[in-house]
Structure 1
Amino acid sequence: MDKDQRDLVTRIAGIILAGGASRRFGTDKAATVIEGRPMIAHVADRLGPQVASIAIAGANQTYTLACPLLEDGAHATKGPLAGLAAGLSWALGNDFTHVVTAPCDVPLLPRNLVRLLSSHGQTSPAVLETPRGIEAACAMWPVSVFSKVEDRLQAGKSLSMMGLLEDAGASVIQVQAGDLDGSFININAPDDLAQL
């Protein structure tokens, strides 16, 4: 990591998105134990060293993690975009310039995610495209997109992360599986956990 990227990391907050209902999984995915620890703790272990600070958006419990819990507030039923809004609001109040989002169900989150995302400029969002497709939930967002996110949430339409990335002119960075120090495999159902 060069000096510019190191300097950028000190201004980036990590936001773990944990507000989903876990309908397909059947229980709270974030609390599901993998190797003796909640799944969300594995995500925090991998994201934490890449950013200056971490917060959890949408969670209703701490999962034994010592970090701020951000409520989705009036947008609680509006999916990951609500968590992004909460994270951006918190980041603005704590003088961060960017947030990197990651869902709570990606326990093998790449340890080089932020380095790869920050390889573009920093004025627009950035997202990786792997052979699996675009990893929209694992993106870097400048805090300047906060008003755009709020507008979408208040309008109640176009609530997808992918739609926001497109609207905000995101940089799409193409990477191969071998470029990743980890994986974007997510755990949506008990069978996924068994395969992991």
Structure 2
Amino acid sequence: MRALGVLIAILLVAGCTAAPADNAKPKRTRVDEPLPTTAPISLPPRPREVKLDRADPCKLLTAAQRKDLGMDRPPQPGTNPNMGEAKVCDFRDSTRALSVRIGLVLIQGVEVWLDETAQADVTQTQIGEFPAVVVRTAAQTGFCNVDVDVAAGQFLDVQFGNAGSAHPPSLEQMCSRAQEVAQAAVRTLISAK
């Protein structure tokens, strides 16, 4: 199971690259160098379980939320075989060439990111009332993931990234925007229950 978790973690963040912009972290000269280790994280308990089994990722951002976030293209549903055929939905801001992917991971919990084998820089945060993590990986600086612990063995994955922008936001800005999207998605998810 640990090997599956590591594989999913690596494949989850594969795909985009951009120049590093995070000045707060030590500079790495090669992408295969490990990220600095962080203190172990222990997430607080979630306030309740919100199962994702019947959720539709394309409906987790309302039309008003998409407009507020600048996502002007119709949602594009799909699945991600690297996350156990998780249902995903892609949103795009065509004006600024930015993208959002919301995924519903049903095969493991958010604690996959807390394992030292995940090879990620993980920061604890809170989305709505739920514990969450902001995930940055050494090989990928073109996007940032925020994963929300909504139920045992399940998590809501939000990825915010550069989709070809000539002036992409910094990694910190992408992580901030990913948290903003996650807040909106969790609000919608809770209101539907």
Higher strand share: 2
- Compare the two structures and name the one with the higher helix fraction: 1
* TM-score, normalised by the number of residues in structure 2: 0.28
TM-score by length of 1: 0.28
